[in-house]
Amino acid sequence: MNNKVYITLIVLLGLLCAYLGYKVSSKQTEIIEKTTEVEGLTTDRARVQLELEKMKFT
């Protein structure tokens, strides 16, 4: 009976590790997507600021 309890615990811990690994992976993908989005918005902001500076001088 003792071995069955240990095997069950090992299986549950393995499943928990797999689930947590999946969550970390999906969050990492989400972070990469958001970082790319922020970089694009930063570029757009710089472009608009440059256009506004040009408008000031014309």
Amino acid identity, position 50: L
Place of tokens 């993908």: 29
Which residue type, as a one-letter code, is found at position 43? T
Q: Domain residue spans in the chain?
A: 23-58
Q: What is the pLDDT of residue 43?
A: 96
Task: Give average pLDDT by consecutive 10-residue segment, the chain, 58 residues.
Answer: 91 97 95 96 96 90
Alpha-carbon Rg for the chain, nearest whole angstrom, is 25
What pTM value is reported for the model? 0.63
Q: What is the pLDDT of residue 58?
A: 82
Distance CA 23, CA 16 (A): 11
Whole-number pLDDT of residue 40: 95
